[in-house]
Amino acid sequence: MTSKAFQPAATALIVAIFIAAVLILQPLMRGARADFTEQQLYTLSDGTRNVLRGIDEPVDLTFVYTRRVGQDFPAVRAYATRVRELLDAYKAVAGPSLRIREIDPEPFSEAEDEALAAGIVAVDTDGNDPLYFGLIGGNTVDDERVIPFLAPEQEETLEYDLTRLIARLDRPEPPVVGVLSTLQGMSGDGRDSGYTFLREIAKGFTLEEINEDFFSLPEDMDVLIMVHPPELNDWQAWLVDQFLLRKGRAIIMVDPAAKTSQGSAFAGLGERQIRSDLGRFGPRWGVTLSDDALADTETALPIQAEAGEGRTTVLRHPLYLAAPPALMSHDSLITADLGRTVNFGAPGALILDEDSPFDHEVLISTGPAPSWIPADRAVTELSAQDTLELYEAQETAQPLAIRLHGALVSAFPDGAPNPDMPDDAVLAELARAEAETAAPHISTSERDAEILIIADADMVDDGLYVNLENSTAFADNGNFLMNALDVLSGDANLLSLRARASSRRPMKRVEAMRDEAQERFFDEQARLESSLAESQARLEELQQVGATDGFFEGDLEANLNDAERAELARLREDIVETRSRLRSIERDFRREIDGLEAWLKFFNIFGGPIIIGALGLFVWWRRRPGERR
């Protein structure tokens, strides 16, 4: 082969080898990822990987996104890219077990019909066409689950939402939830009566009511919910103990002063159980419920109160707490996406033992200076003023809700106790038959337990978070509890997932400047706006006296005296001056931010050429002496 023919032949051979290598290595390297983001945004959690690798039957995911409409909204467009990339990462791990496709529902298309039939939300936009942005999941038995709208502000829980959807499709039968409670609103099947929380459980889960005199727990129960439970006898406590050792999933809501129980229409105060606690489990877990209730002036909930003469007023009552998102954990999936308060009624506090064998996470806490209120006073109709008279501020915040994680040891080291049989022979025989079905005693947990403990049972009452006129929630009590139930009832791998950092990168310097400007100008702006409102109100009074409709129009000479005419002129001058000052404040508020924006534009446009030019001049200057020599 001549030298002239060798070069093109070698070039063609190299190109062919490169193409072949790409075709061979592409499927082999499909799962390879290098994540250089600060928060590891594109690295899947171990729990997600375990769920994806354990899929038994193929799962289909359909990403629904109206590209043309989404392009008009930068936040939606960026989030769609984030969702698409995350789905690619899922596909790389799951392989053929996960089938992903994307549809663009143009108006009057088959794709739009498919999206609407599945329950994807059509979001109205400023244009003529709606925005579809959701996810449809299906499995081989035609079970379907949908995320109706992928809200960009909920990006922190995106991985959990996707993994939970896949896990539920892989296990289509709904989890079994057992409910044990002495509250009237938490009894029944949740179909036609009961609290909103009970009805929500019945919609998405198999609900099993547990009677107060139970001798066995429901079979195949996945999660146990105890809301202000009765005082358990030894046999009942042992059944709960064994369930937690085997399944380890429970939501326990106890209360030192259950106002909901006291207010029952079925019995008087003396016949109701006012206090519930953790019983013999508390010392084992290193968690005890306080004897007294808590009040908190910082998070006091506005409520309606009588003002005399048949009138009502709205005032902040320290015994009713409205914990804002700032007092919630931002790392837990249970509370990360909550945007409103979680309301409590005369709650207690959870006292944590430093030597507890459990890892504990405080999900919700009080403000920094709550006060203890005697439980026997808190359970009565204690007024806000009476509560303030009893108020003695403490120096530290108190936990209202915690999540425990870890291995359990039985609270019954000597084994199963003998059940207390009813006096009635027939009931005793039935109870004996139920007791005989109990599984053998075990002393240590078969898997790590996940237990949510809340120091208030009244929070499930609709009156604390639901508008009874239109049945809409004004607080996140229900979302908090349903989030907890979703997390605890799902695949065990879901429990290891945490709320992720957002891919959005706020301009921290701009935000700091905005906060500083707000702090500097807010007081003056508020004072000026208040003065402007007072001046305008007085001006309207004088105009009515002068029988004129215009702002500066009308002849007031006939109806106003000299003092009123002078006051009217002064008010006009004050209003003009005040509005001028408000406009000046608005300009000052934006001046520093606009200046920073101008400098950023300057450096982005001219910074590169200036630096390159400076380097060129420096090199030229350095080479001049050599050229002269």
Assigned domain for 63 exists: yes
227 lies in a domain?
Answer: yes
What pLDDT does 223 receive? 95
Match 């910082």 to its residue by tokens.
298
> What's the pLDDT at 147?
92
Residue 429 counted as domain residue: no
Q: What is the DSSP letter of 152?
A: G
CATH number of the domain residue 155 falls in: 3.40.30.10
Q: How many folded domains does the chain comprise?
A: 3
Report how far residue 84's alpha carbon sits from residue 528's, in angstroms, rounded to the nearest whole number.
49
- On whether both 450 and 541 belong to a single domain, the answer is no
Residue 206 in domain: yes
pLDDT (0 to 100) of residue 521? 57
Q: Return the pLDDT at 622.
A: 76
Is residue 272 within 8 Å of residue 263, measured between CB atoms?
no
pLDDT 10s digits, 59-69: 999 999 999 99
Do 266 and 351 lie in a common domain? yes
pLDDT score at 310: 57
321 and 276 within one domain: yes
The confidence score (pLDDT) of residue 126 equals 76
91 and 236 share a domain? Answer: no
CB 495 within 8 A of CB 487: yes
Please give the pLDDT value at position 182. Answer: 93
Domain boundary among 461, 496, 531: 496
Q: Is 228 left (phi over 0), alpha (psi -120 to 50) or beta?
A: left
List the chain residues with pLDDT less than 70.
1-6, 26-42, 262-271, 304-314, 491-562, 564-565, 568, 571, 582-583, 585-593, 624-629
Query: Helices 562-628 and 508-545 sit at what angle, rounded to 10 degrees?
Result: 160
- Boundary of a domain, candidates 169, 199, 234: 169
CA triple 557-560-562, angle to 5 deg: 90
pLDDT of residue 1: 60
Query: Domain check: are 207 and 326 in the same one?
Result: yes
Entry pTM? 0.68
Question: Is 514 found in the same domain as 490?
Answer: no
* pLDDT at res. 160: 81
3-class secondary structure, 529: helix
Is there a single domain that holds both residue 183 and residue 287? yes
Of the residues 467, 496, 525, the one at which a domain ends: 496
Q: How far is CA 321 from CA 85, 472, 586, in A?
A: 41, 20, 36
> What range defines the domain where residue 243 resides?
174-414+446-496
CATH code for position 481: 3.40.50
Residues 464, 42: Cα–Cα separation, whole Å: 40
Q: Are residues 380 and 407 in the same domain?
A: yes
464 with 590, same domain: the answer is no
Same domain, yes or no: 155 and 271: no
Is there a contact between 162 and 135 (Cβ–Cβ < 8 Å)? Answer: yes
Residue 428 placed within a domain = no
76 and 215 together in one domain? no
- Tell me what pLDDT residue 399 has: 96
Do 192 and 302 fall into the same domain? yes
pLDDT at residue 98, rounded to an integer: 94
Q: What is the pLDDT at residue 508?
A: 62
Q: What pLDDT digit, counting tens, does each position of 157-206 carry?
A: 788 889 888 988 888 788 999 999 999 999 888 887 899 999 999 988 89
Q: What is the pLDDT of residue 287?
A: 94
